[in-house]
Amino acid sequence: MVPSNAANDLLTIAEAAEAARILRRHLQTLLQRCEGLPVIRLGRRLIIRREALQAWLVSRETDHANAA
């Protein structure tokens, strides 16, 4: 049995996109191009760990002055 708090740390693609404030379609495109974050495949379903989403977002941070 999975502890209840661990289940809250798993996101669907739609939930991950909402949490990251990006379009679901954009996240799906990133995943198809292997430019997205690590996922867990459960049959046909993709699940994303909340901490993996947060780490991915941090890795994409840039200094605004250097962003072009």
- Domains held by the chain: number: 1
Burial 40-49 (b: 16+ CB within 10 A, else e): eeeeeebbbb
Does 31 fall in a domain?
A: yes
Does 38 fall in a domain?
A: yes
pLDDT tens over the chain, length 68 residues: 455 566 679 999 999 999 999 999 999 999 999 887 899 999 999 999 999 999 999 998 887 666 55
The domain in which residue 14 lies consists of 4-59
Does 12 fall in a domain?
A: yes
CATH of the domain at 23: 1.10.10
Does 35 fall in a domain?
A: yes
Cα–Cα distance measured from residue 46 to residue 51, given in angstroms and rounded to the nearest whole number: 15
